[in-house]
């Protein structure tokens, strides 16, 4: 059995959706994600992927396979030129699936890394990004690449489609509260909703505002101004809601966090359900987690370094 490979989960602090149109996004890897081990099946058999905690069990398929994850697994193996080795990729996840926390990119990066370890090949970030990006293209359609960049690199940074991830060095670790709802959602549908709302035009003022909020929030974060970062997040949530990608539940959870003392709260990722995040003074964190719990959602705290 080979070693364990990881892909990190992520949160987008600012800039989701606008990033698809070329604007910057501020994003951070969680301290958790998806881990994967390649287990050879000596008696032969197909290339498989099993993530029991997600009830996921697929066989690597061709591009016309009915299961998108099976197609994605096949695409990764093809990108690496491995064919279909007799292996079971066995995964564990510490993040929920489909909640906007980058589970599919984390899985794709972990699968790619595990295959490279099994093939005794050196880890090349460009190769991993391309293989995992092919998987994301199948699962999500028009993806910017921000999820893959964070799943691979960890840490925090500003991502642009044209130039990739520019990592930031924080002088003080950033504490973020995260809550994943179980509202069903689909990234590709939400990206389509924004395309419909903006006619797919980069110049739409709402997309431009989301992009400039990334700049404002990043400057505030680097200057240690968490209230400024929180204000940018609150405004971004309102703009995203205006584009039609929030839900009443996400609005209620964000309001509850602000009432309980958060500097800022917003949906994170594609929206339409999924997760929210909040930045808060340390002494308000307990009240915010309690307010979410009262509303049926269990949150957690993650530290970004």
Query: Which one, 144 or 218, has the nearer CB to ligand PMV?
Result: 144
Determine, following the binding rule CB under 6 A, whether residue 100 of this chain makes contact with ligand PMV: yes
Q: Establish whether 147 is a catalytic residue.
A: yes
Q: Which is nearer to ligand PMV, 147 or 285 (CB)?
A: 147
Cα–Cα distance for residue pair 189/58, rounded to 1 Å: 24
CB 3 within 8 A of CB 35: no
Which residues, in sequence order, are bridge partners of residue 277?
Answer: 178, 266
Among candidate residues 147, 196, 225, 255, the one labeled active-site is: 147
Check binding of 285 to ligand PMV (CB under 6 A).
no
Nearest-approach distance from CB 106 to ligand PMV, in angstroms: 10
Rg of the chain taking only CA atoms, in angstroms: 19
Residue span binding ligand PMV (CB under 6 A) among the ranges 79-87, 173-181, 196-204, 269-277: 269-277
Neighbours of 201 (CB within 10 A): 10
CA within 13 Å, CB half, 104: 25
Q: How far apart are the first and last CA of the chain?
A: 32
Candidates 15-23, 62-70, 108-116, 246-254 — which segment interacts with ligand PMV by CB under 6 A? 15-23
Q: How far is the CB of 17 from ligand PMV (least distance, A)?
A: 5
How far out from the chain centre does Cα 259 lie? Answer: 27
What is the rounded CA–CA span in Å between residue 98 and residue 270? 10
Nearer to ligand PMV by Cβ, of 37 and 187: the residue is 187
269 is an interface residue for ligand PMV by CB under 6 A: yes
Applying CB under 6 A, does 95 fall inside the site for ligand PMV? no
The rounded distance, in Å, linking the Cα atoms of 129 and 151 is 9
Binding flag, residue 146, ligand PMV (CB under 6 A): yes
Which residues here bind ligand PMV, judged by CB under 6 A? 12, 16-17, 19-20, 100, 102, 143-144, 146-147, 187, 191, 269-270, 274
Mind telling me the catalytic residues? 147
């Amino acid at each position: 059995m080979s070693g364990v490979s990881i892909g990190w989960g992520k949160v987008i602090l600012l800039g989701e959706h606008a990033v698809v149109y070329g604007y910057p996004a501020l994003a951070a890897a969680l301290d958790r994600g998806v881990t994967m081990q390649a287990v050879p099946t000596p008696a032969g058999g197909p290339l498989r992927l099993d993530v029991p905690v997600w009830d996921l069990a697929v066989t690597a398929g061709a591009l016309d396979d009915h299961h998108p994850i099976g197609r994605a697994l096949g695409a990764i193996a093809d990108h690496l030129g491995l064919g279909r080795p007799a292996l079971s990729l066995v995964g564990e996840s510490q993040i929920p699936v489909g909640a906007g926390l980058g589970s599919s990119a984390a899985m794709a990066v972990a699968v790619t890394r595990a295959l490279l370890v099994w093939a005794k090949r050196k880890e090349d970030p460009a190769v991993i990004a391309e293989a995992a990006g092919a998987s994301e293209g199948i699962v999500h359609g028009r993806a910017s690449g921000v999820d893959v960049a964070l799943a691979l690199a960890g840490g925090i940074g500003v991502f642009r489609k044209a130039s990739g991830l520019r990592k930031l060095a924080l002088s003080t670790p950033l504490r973020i509260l995260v809550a994943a709802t179980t509202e069903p959602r689909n990234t590709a549908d939400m990206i389509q909703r924004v395309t419909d709302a903006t006619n797919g035009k980069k110049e739409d003022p709402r997309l431009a505002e989301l992009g400039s909020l990334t700049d404002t929030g990043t400057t505030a974060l680097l200057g240690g101004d968490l209230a400024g970062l929180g204000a940018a997040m609150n405004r971004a949530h309102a703009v995203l809601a205006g584009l039609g990608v929030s839900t009443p539940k996400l609005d209620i959870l964000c309001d509850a966090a602000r009432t309980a003392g958060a500097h800022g709260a917003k949906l994170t990722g594609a929206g339409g359900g999924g997760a929210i995040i909040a930045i808060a003074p340390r002494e308000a964190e307990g009240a915010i987690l309690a307010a979410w719990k009262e509303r049926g959602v269990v949150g957690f705290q993650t530290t970004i370094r």
